[in-house]
Amino acid sequence: MDVRAKVFAEYQSVEELRELLDKFRGERLLHIGSGSNLLFTGDFNGVVLHSAMRRARCTNEDAEYVWIEADNGLVLDELIDQLCDMGISGLENLSYIPGEVGASAVQNVGAYGVEAKDVIDSVRALKISDGTERIFTNAECKYGYRDSIFKNDLRGLYVITHVTYKLNKHFEPKLDYGNLRSEVDEHPTPMAVREAVIQIRKQKLPEVSELGSAGSFFKNPIVPHEVYNNIAARYDRVPHFEQDGGIKIPAAWLIEQCGWKGKSLGGARCYEKQPLVLVNAGNATPDDIINLAAAICADVKEQFNITINPEVNYI
């Protein structure tokens, strides 16, 4: 999107972050990761903060687990690559998700049957108002589907500076989601699972350097059993996954049934290989993306009586 911020400020330590917070106190602040899950609806009249802290370290280990603390600005996929290379498992299913460590703990990113919350032990954060530091346990983060306390009660109040992951030394692959199991050998390594996930994602998702997108634009809805049963009575082989509180139906399937796959509206397009993804087909404005998303949501609501919501944050 062709939008600008009034100020962009990057820091390389927690102390530098404190200094920036003091310097720009009273300004509108927005801390971002790689920006891969944001849609700026116009110019941002404020300060965009970004971390250049990009290290990871082992803080503890025992016979079963290793605890890895990673800086907020470290690219999540780079961390996963390093861990898989060392044979440390737990994050491999999240390979090739564009974004950084800090944002993964805000969003509770997930893919192929694994969510960040499954392996996050704790989160270290700085309070914006006074620069004090607090450690949040996994339970205190109140994780849900693509959700956390940092997106709700504490939205805009803290900057996550470090995330500690509790990772298993003994590999227990999670291969039951999608066609992942068919893409690996009978006894895979963490790196083999990572490579399979990357291969699958590359087949479905555009490279953002070549075609602008925000990845998966919509959350998968979880509906009551009776809603799923009504749909299953009208359609053959409805993809679905049992969840606490209902049935998850892939938003991509719902969107495709509404005929949006590959279609454009203004400069925005519903990606032809994965309808969950909206792309900048050429000189799209923020309004083009917003209007396309709204039209898709309206059609899914009309056809299935299901509300799908953007995973992307509108700024």
Q: What count of other Cβ atoms lies within 10 Å of the Cβ of residue 85?
A: 11
- In 3-state terms, what secondary structure has residue 112? coil
Backbone angles phi, psi at 241, to 5 degrees: -140, 130
Q: CA torsion angle for 208, 212, 216, 217 (degrees, to 10)?
A: 160
Where are any strands of DSSP class E within the chain?
5-11, 29-32, 38-39, 44-51, 56-61, 65-71, 110-111, 114-115, 120-127, 133-137, 158-168, 213-216, 222-223, 241-243, 246-248, 264-265, 268-270, 277-280, 313-314
Residues of 112-135 as b/e, b for ≥16 C-beta within 10 angstroms? bebbbbbbbbbbbbbebeeeeeee
Q: Are 33 and 308 a contacting pair, CB within 8 Å?
A: no
Beta bridge partners of 32: 50
Select which of 69, 92, 115, 311 is catalytic: 311
| Residue 216 is a catalytic residue | yes
Nearest one of 137, 131, 120 to 157, comparing CA atoms: 131
Select which of 18, 89, 115, 146 is catalytic: 146
Select which of 51, 104, 213, 216 is catalytic: 216
**Tokens 């090739």 found at:** 96
Active-site residue numbers?
Answer: 146, 216, 311
